[in-house]
Amino acid sequence: MRTRLWIVAGLVLLGVAIFGTRYYEVDRPIWRFLAGESASIDPLTLHLQGEFVESNLGVAEEPNQPLTVRLIAEQYMFVPQCVQVPAGVPVRFRITSADVVHGLTIADTNFQLKAVPGAVSQTEYVFRDPGEHVMPCREFCGAGHYAMRARVLVVPKERYADLKPGERGSCAPR
């Protein structure tokens, strides 16, 4: 009887932990969740300070991290509108919203990531093959929702290494 109680208590704790860390893939550890912190990033000052200033958007290579793509979702666009990444390596997407909830998806894949104002969402994805995908918004976000989309260009790993840093973030013709 006692054992069963412990098992139930353990499962409840596990559920709380998973909810706290993984809900909406929001990058918010359980201790901050329990402390009632509702916002980890101010949607009104995204362009002025912190991780999502304009110069930091797009593709970034950072020490001890997978290749990182930073995007801002806003009515009715993603910034930047196109990113270029290599095939076959993990790509970490980090996204936040400047206004309402948006949903970043990648056509022909099962990738989806909510963009929530006040929080940073993150997930990793490996593109197996080179190609081009549309990244539409799949969360109804207002009148212009149906035209809200970005693009991702997946280039072969070897070719990506040849790109100049300035070409990696953008989708300038190759």
Q: What are phi and psi of 54, to 5 degrees?
A: -55, -40
CB of 18 to Cu ion, least distance (A): 27
Choose the stretch contacting Cu ion; rule: CB under 5 A; options: 19-27, 52-60, 89-97, 145-153.
145-153
CB of 147 to Cu ion, least distance (A): 9
CB of 111 to Cu ion, least distance (A): 16
Choose the stretch contacting Cu ion; rule: CB under 5 A; options: 29-37, 137-145, 150-158, 159-167.
137-145
CB of 117 to Cu ion, least distance (A): 13
Contact between 148 and Cu ion per CB under 5 A: yes
Among 87, 141, 150, 155, binds Cu ion (CB under 5 A): 141
d(CA 85, CA 88): 10
Among 114, 145, 151, 168, binds Cu ion (CB under 5 A): 145
Closest CA to 135 of 45, 69, 48, 63: 69
CB of 10 to Cu ion, least distance (A): 39
Contact between 137 and Cu ion per CB under 5 A: yes
**Parallel, antiparallel, or unpaired: how do β-strands 112-115 and 82-86 relate?**
unpaired
The distance in angstroms from the start CA to the end CA of the chain is 67
Contact between 113 and Cu ion per CB under 5 A: no
- DSSP string of 108-157, one letter each residue: TS--EEEE-BTS-EEEEEE--S-EEEEEEB-S--STTGGG-EEEEEEE-H
d(CA 22, CA 154): 27
Which chain residues interact with Cu ion by CB under 5 A? Answer: 137, 141, 145, 148
